[in-house]
Amino acid sequence: MIPIRIPEFLYKLKHNLFPDYFLYALLAAGCEILEPHIIDRKKRSDIKYANMAMDILEKICDIHDPYIIWACCLIDSYIWKIIENDKRQVIYGTT
């Protein structure tokens, strides 16, 4: 998982010091734990959070921020949970 210092992570989370795309990616990756009973795709907030994170990431020009890497990893874990493996390979162009 993410190599973090828990007190620093909680401090940044409490004081809103993380970039928006990182928070949205974190929420998308963990929303099924928060909302495991929702099956209707229109009501699932994880899809909305993943789309919001991807929209912001597509507009970023400076790719040297380590939060971009972690956000991409979190979005990848989100995609892994909701899409079958063969569809995931199509997304990455490995078929």
Q: Express each pLDDT in 16-42 by its tens digit.
A: 999 999 999 998 888 767 766 666 666
- Which pLDDT score, from 0 to 100, does residue 11 have? 95
How many domains, in total, are found in the chain?
1
Q: Does a structural domain hold residue 59?
A: yes
Average pLDDT, the chain: 78
Instruction: Note the pTM of the prediction, 2 decimals.
Output: 0.73
Q: Does a structural domain hold residue 49?
A: yes
Q: Does a structural domain hold residue 61?
A: yes
CB atoms within 10 A of CB 23: 18
Q: Does a structural domain hold residue 48?
A: yes
Q: Express each pLDDT in 46-55 by its tens digit.
A: 778 888 888 8
Question: Residue 58's domain spans which residues?
Answer: 9-92
- Asked if 47 and 41 count as a contact pair (C-beta separation under 8 A), the reply is yes
Which residue, among 7, 56, 58, has the nearest Cα to 27 in the 3D structure?
A: 56
Torsion of CA 12, 21, 83, 40, to 10 degrees: 90
Q: Does a structural domain hold residue 2?
A: no
Q: Express each pLDDT in 76-85 by its tens digit.
A: 877 776 665 6
Q: Does a structural domain hold residue 4?
A: no
- Which pLDDT score, from 0 to 100, does residue 91 have? 46
